Structure 1
């Protein structure tokens, strides 16, 4: 069996690409510090989520909020969130029935919401953000999907 010159060249190119990809992965992991999501995942019984998680808005420090939202066909609980001079908002979300997608239109907030799992996302609110933002479900969840929306209202004191 004879190995042709072109086969050796292509084998070398493939080997070089593997080395480059592994080097890029190592650089991203050790130098930049990128990691895959993971760690502790909070779970909740979907039938008891409303009682256990107590949906609502809490100011945990000046300008820092924790918002607990629950998705249920076809609405968010609560569906109106008012934030005064927010700097950082930690959203905790779950669903009691099917998969939902949580998005605040015009921002980088976008997360999948699964029944029984509590998804967490932290939003650093831009200092110039104010007004009313539409909060939608961007994952088809049934016949009333188009009615699953709410509002995030950002009020600024100055």
Structure 2
């Protein structure tokens, strides 16, 4: 059954849009260099995460930190983090029980945290960042979800 009049126009519009979208994806991938996050994924047994990952804050170099956080209904381990003159913070996160969301309010740090997987994100801390930043779980994780929060305290000298 051949296309008639306006049908040909709409088929052409849809085909042109598909070509434009594919061209935009190709441009973003090859010219701009945007890629989907991925690569090596570290797995950890949820029951052993606290022992294997050893949650806490470690200063790797001046101003560069590695923060390992483990989530469990309804708390973060650790929940109070202090960083002195931070430049870059690498967060490594996992969960013991259900899916959680790690969000530092007022920043672009926002990560879904799955049991058995270690999520990594690097935060380049703005020079003007100082004081207390609220950390919340933004994925509903049960009846005590509203109590799941922590604090990142940034001290500048």
Same fold flag (TM > 0.5): yes
**Partner of residue 16, structure 1:** 16
**Partner of residue 69, structure 2:** 69
Equivalence map 1:128-143=2 (5 Å)? 128-143=128-143
**Partner of residue 94, structure 1:** 94
Q: CA deviation at 1:2?
A: 4.4
Normalising by the residue count of structure 1, what TM-score does the alignment of the two structures yield? 0.96
Match of 1:118, SS state, is strand
The superposition leaves residues 51-92 of structure 1 with CA deviations (integer Å, 9 ceiling, x where unpaired) of 000000001111110000000111100011000000000000
CA distance in 2, matches of 1:140, 1:11: 43
Equivalence map 1:8-47=2 (5 Å)? 8-47=8-47
Q: CA deviation at 1:151?
A: 0.5
CA distance in 2, matches of 1:67, 1:153: 13
Runs of 4+ in 1 over 6 A off after TM superposition: none
Match of 2:117, SS state, is coil
Equivalence map 1:82-121=2 (5 Å)? 82-121=82-121
Normalising by the residue count of structure 2, what TM-score does the alignment of the two structures yield? 0.97
**Partner of residue 52, structure 2:** 52
Say how many residue pairs are matched.
157
> Runs of 5+ in structure 1 lacking a partner?
none
- Aligned-CA RMSD value: 0.9
Match of 2:43, SS state, is coil
